[in-house]
Amino acid sequence: MTPEQLAPIGAALARLLSPHAEVVLHDPATDEIVAIWNPLSGREPGDPSLLGELDELSTTDPDVYGPYPKVLPDGRRLSSVSAVMRDKDGKAAYVFCVNVDRTAFEGASRLLAAFAAPTAGQPRVLFEHDWSETLNEIVAGYVRERGVPVERLSREDRVDLLGKLDAAGVLSQRRSVPAVARALRMSRSALYQHLGQARKEPHADPA
């Protein structure tokens, strides 16, 4: 096993993770860097490896360490993994270290979190008349509670559901009747008949 034989592995890892990671090949016998790809840290071959830090890391696999945190001089935080390459006698011949710069990933995470999180309630001017959203919510909640699809609701269920929609003000909205009829899978004439019965019966306000 020679550095030349290991070089394609380092180059492949660096190409896969570029530009967010550097790959370093260390010689533990000399405690020097043998080769480095995409040198984020500014180090060069021949610089000290400083592999003593690996001795302090606990791991279930004696040949693989990490991920563990490191910091560059400019403050960038890294996640690092080190793998020991052993010769035929079991002696540590080389150590591969992959150091991933977390800056871009943490920035993307913050951006996605900020983009996805609502910053304010629904603008009243836009949503106070959105009766179709109320219709969908009430119908969806009702069928979930009953455990059956809309088309299998009984006559009593439909009367009850229409009472809830009426109490929520949905049926008082202009052009709402066709939408409610479609949502409940019934004709308009049947809707008016059921609605007439619903209005004769008391119904609790929708939650």
**pLDDT band for position 207 (50/70/90)?**
very low
Q: Are residues 56 and 102 in the same domain?
A: yes
Q: Are residues 55 and 134 in the same domain?
A: no
Minimum mean pLDDT among 14-23, 54-63, 143-152, 198-207: which range?
54-63
Last residue of a domain, one of 108, 135, 166: 108
Q: Are residues 128 and 103 in the same domain?
A: no
- In tens, the pLDDT along 68-122 reads 888 777 778 888 888 988 888 888 889 999 999 888 777 777 777 776 665 555 4
Q: What is the span of the domain harbouring residue 14?
A: 3-108
Mean pLDDT of the 146-166 span: 91
Element (H, E) at 178: helix 176-183
- Structurally, the chain folds into a number of domains equal to 2
Burial class (CB in 10 A: 0-12, 13-18, 19+), 196: exposed
Please state, in angstroms and rounded to a whole number, the distance separating the CA atoms of residues 156 and 34: 80
Q: Are residues 82 and 149 in the same domain?
A: no
Q: Are residues 102 and 141 in the same domain?
A: no
Q: Would you say residue 54 lies in a domain?
A: yes
**pTM over 0.75, yes/no:** no
Please state, in angstroms and rounded to a whole number, the distance separating the CA atoms of residues 154 and 136: 19
Q: Would you say residue 64 lies in a domain?
A: yes
Q: Are residues 30 and 104 in the same domain?
A: yes
Q: Are residues 83 and 141 in the same domain?
A: no
